[in-house]
Amino acid sequence: MNLDKQKLKQSVAKAGKALWNSFPILLGVILLVSIITVLIPTSAYSFLFRNNFFDSLMGSTLGSILAGNPITSYIIGGELISQGISLVAVTAFIVAWVTVGLVQLPAESMLLGKRFAITRNITAFILAIVVAVITVGVLTLI
């Protein structure tokens, strides 16, 4: 197979740039997760996440507010699970993280229309909980 060297260079550079752009956010979030793990005891989280319904609502809300590379949401999600938070809540969190973007909402409104952006984000917020409940439901069944 013949590889186009110039194109390969560009592809690698683009991938590097994409990763570099998310680097400060990734680093910041890992640092934040680290210090929160040390400063805030697990009991504080279990206070935030108590029963299944409000768990997923809380997860979806947190995921909507926070934004960034999906990898970051997996890291936070993994940490939340290790702290005993339910899989439904964590799933709602990681789904809302990528499908709801409060940070990107102004850009989305400007380019794709206000009505479209707002409707899309609100429905995505609700659907994050639906996805979480179905996913965990199916996972429990099999």
List 52, 57, 71, 83, residue binding other proteins (CB under 8 A): 71
The C-alpha angle 17, 68, 8, rounded to 5 degrees, equals 25
Helix (H, G, I), strand (E, B) or coil at 128: helix
Site for other proteins in 41-60 (CB under 8 A): none
Q: Is 135 in the site for other proteins (CB under 8 A)?
A: yes
Q: Is 8 in the site for other proteins (CB under 8 A)?
A: yes
Q: Nearest 10 degrees: CA dihedral of 100, 130, 140, 70?
A: -10
Residue 10 carries which side chain, given as an amino acid letter? Q
Task: Kindly tell me the burial class for residue 25, based on how many C-beta atoms sit within 10 Å of its own C-beta (0-12, 13-18, 19 or more).
Answer: middle
Q: Give the binding site for other proteins (CB under 8 A).
A: 7-8, 10-12, 14-16, 18-25, 27-35, 37-39, 68, 70-71, 74-75, 77-78, 81, 87, 91, 94-95, 98-99, 101, 103-104, 107-108, 111-113, 115-116, 119-120, 123-124, 127, 130-131, 134-135, 138-139, 142
